[in-house]
Amino acid sequence: MINTAHVHNLYAYHFAMNRKLWDYSVMALTEELFTRRLEYSVGSIRNQVVHLLNIDDRWFCGLRGQPVPGFLNPVYFNKRPKIREMWDEVEGKMQAYLATLTDEMLPQPYDDGRLAVWQVLLHIVNHGTDHRAQTLAMLHGIGAPTFPQDYAIWLLRK
């Protein structure tokens, strides 16, 4: 059974890959490339990163028993420093929740009881990996720097 040590390890990976996406790839883009319309997934690189921070925030608000915010419209988020500030705030709230997590909380029902807390936590990491992969493919397509994000590679390089 999954325990909090496993969850903390998965989230260390999730946060590290998100930061690397920002620091290595997203910040290397021009403003035009950051907002350029791309036909894959949710659109531009900007749309991808806004989507990622929004979905992480929505799930973790639910985990904390707080009202779940609506979906963000990325067209209102054109400046990378502002998005990164929001991203860091969301990550900080996620880390604060994870610091309170106990093994006993993991099998507890989430929301309407169709999912357990551990399943939601695993889903969030999986969703992040999926959208980072999409973003990395998009970045590669426009000639921006990318990197491998495999969990096993991250573990071996730690």
> What is the residue extent of each domain of the chain?
4-157
Residue 100 has a pLDDT of 98
What is the phi-psi region of residue 110: left when phi exceeds 0, alpha when psi lies from -120 to 50, beta otherwise? beta
Length of the chain: 158
Instruction: Give yes or no for residue 98 having a pLDDT over 90.
Output: yes
Q: What is the mean pLDDT of the chain?
A: 95
Q: What's the whole-number mean pLDDT along residues 28-57?
A: 92
Select the CATH number that applies to the domain covering 4-157 from these four: 1.10.3720.10, 3.40.718.10, 1.20.120.450, 3.40.50.300. Answer: 1.20.120.450
CA distances from 81 to 71, 128, 134 (A): 20, 20, 22
Instruction: Please write the tens of the pLDDT for every residue from 1-20.
Output: 899 999 999 999 999 999 99
pLDDT bucket at 153, cuts 50 / 70 / 90: very high
Please spell the DSSP secondary structure of the chain, one letter per residue: ---HHHHHHHHHHHHHHHHHIIIIIGGGS-HHHHH---SSTTSSHHHHHHHHHHHHHHHHHHHTTPPPP----GGG---HHHHHHHHHHHHHHHHHHHHH--GGGTTSEETTTTEEHHHHHHHHHHHHHHHHHHHHHHHHHTT-------HHHHHHH-
Instruction: Give yes or no for residue 35 having a pLDDT over 90.
Output: yes
Residue 43 has a pLDDT of 83
| 109 phi and psi angles, rounded to 5 deg | -70, 145
Q: The whole model's pTM is what?
A: 0.94
CA distances from 15 to 18, 116, 118, 143 (A): 5, 22, 17, 24
